[in-house]
Amino acid sequence: MDAYWTIVDGIYNTSLSLFFFTLMFLMFIVGRKGWRANNRYGGVSSIICGICFLIFGFYNSIFRFFPYPYNGFIIWWISIIFIITVIFALMIKKIIKKMENESQNNINTSANDKKSSILRRYINRMTKEDPYQDDISIKMELLRKGFHLMGFLILIAYYGLFLIPPLAEIVSDTVIIFINQVEPSYNFLWGEISDYPYSIGDFNAVIDLTMFALIASLVFAIMSDLIRILWGPEYSIFNFLTKSMLRNKEKNAAGPQIYIMTGFIFSYMLYMSGIIHISAFFAGILIACLSDAAAALIGRNYGKHKIYLRNNETKSIEGFIAGVMVAYIVGFFFVGPIYAIIGALIFFITDYFPAFTADNILNPIFIPIGIQVFIVLLGFPVGLI
């Protein structure tokens, strides 16, 4: 790589580190805002996210998440998502102002304005009644927990599905074919194709692009969530697309999707650094996804024996049993019966004991780390034995 493209590479990589440091700063502001609004759960969890972003920034500065040009691709993605998020928020602001003028002038809201009707209904739903609730419907609970299926997407991105190769490998090979077809344009924007870091079927691409997908997902979700917190829920494109209702513990605080994605990235970073085993990573994130969802849904539908937690939240014995059982089954499949017990135990501890911290961020971090500690201590084979 010649000197010019080396400088470009450095600019992109520095920009990515600064992005994480900026997120850290904003999450500290959000955490302080939540704490002062008496939302200690959201405040503490948001600050923990901020600490993770600080670590991500330093990690990228020293070790890099991606080689060039993928650090450039992620900066372009960040820029595109920022523009889309701001444009949507400004559209909502314009429509709100128009609706306020119509109300002041006693003008009937334009029923024939079909382009705005969907947005108007969305604005009314978000502004006419409090979108933050203590309890949400089973249907909405299913929608929110459906986001946890992201763990399976990561699994397919890394391992593939039966005869289908890893999605990350398919993406990498497709990119290689594409850039060879548009070589002059690629050379102009990114430098010589010979400097492209991957070859066809390169498994290093699978490792790096899985992280790329995780960070790209976080970028979309967190920009929209910051708009929700700082401007209002009606300005969030994520809320608009998912039609989700919000819980009171998300007021002046990040949403659960931010916590779980931050935890995923943290643990995957540890895998990329050689600190934890890939099976411990997948056991941890799928326990975090599936066990939490099982505990919530079984508890909501079949929970008869209530438990009052330290944070005054109410759960059920049936929900805990379902969550721990699913945690053990997932752990059994990925790391074997001994380490599965560790994963299930950590899930129970993080779900039951913390008073002011979201289990959505604790589980995907502490379960893989806990399993890895016992892999080192016990030395048993990882997997079914």
* Within-domain flag for 164: no
Looking at the structure, tell me whether residues 94 and 58 fall in a common domain: yes
Looking at the structure, tell me whether residues 331 and 261 fall in a common domain: no
Looking at the structure, tell me whether residues 134 and 100 fall in a common domain: yes
Looking at the structure, tell me whether residues 9 and 135 fall in a common domain: yes
**Looking at residue 79, what is its pLDDT?**
97
* Within-domain flag for 56: yes
* Within-domain flag for 181: no
Reported pTM: 0.91
At residue 99 the predicted structure's pLDDT band, cuts being 50, 70 and 90, is confident
Higher pLDDT, 385 or 134: 134
Q: What is the pLDDT of residues 191-219, one digit of tens each?
A: 999 899 999 999 999 999 999 999 999 99
**Looking at residue 167, what is its pLDDT?**
93
Mean pLDDT of 119-135: 78
Domain that includes residue 47, residue range: 3-148+206-266
Q: What is the pLDDT of residues 14-48, one digit of tens each?
A: 999 999 999 999 999 999 999 988 888 899 999 99
At residue 107 the predicted structure's pLDDT band, cuts being 50, 70 and 90, is low
Question: Can you spell out the DSSP letters for 233-284?
Answer: GGG-HHHHHHT--EEGGGTTS--HHHHHHHHHHHHHHHHHTTSS-HHHHHHH
Looking at the structure, tell me whether residues 218 and 106 fall in a common domain: yes
Burial 240-278 (b: 16+ CB within 10 A, else e): bebebbbbebbbbbbbbbbbbbbbbbbbbbbbbeeebbb
Looking at the structure, tell me whether residues 257 and 287 fall in a common domain: no
Total domains in the fold of the chain:
2
